[in-house]
Amino acid sequence: MATGGRTSATATTAGCRSTTWTESGGLHFADRADHASRREQTTVGEEIVRQQGWEAWPSCARELGLLR
């Protein structure tokens, strides 16, 4: 959920581990996902999906019907 104009890391990047954040270009924006803006988190999340597919967030993806 958004708080003060920011989205929590768990809401956007499903608890994105710091190594995933780093490997997906997150350090271009902020030192941690919860320090990045909503748009920056979305950009990194899109890169994670490009690299790993929806399997990066299996529970959420299943709930949304993106995985079986």
What CATH code is carried by the domain that includes residue 37?
Answer: 1.10.530.10
Q: Identify the domain containing residue 37 by its residue range.
A: 2-63
Which amino acid is residue 54, in one-letter code?
Answer: W
Q: How far is CA 51 from the centre of its chain?
A: 12
| 68 falls within a domain | no
Tell me the whole-structure pTM to 2 decimals.
0.70
Query: How many folded domains does the chain comprise?
Result: 1
How confident is the model over 18-67, as pLDDT tens digits? 889 999 999 999 999 999 999 999 999 999 999 999 999 999 999 999 99
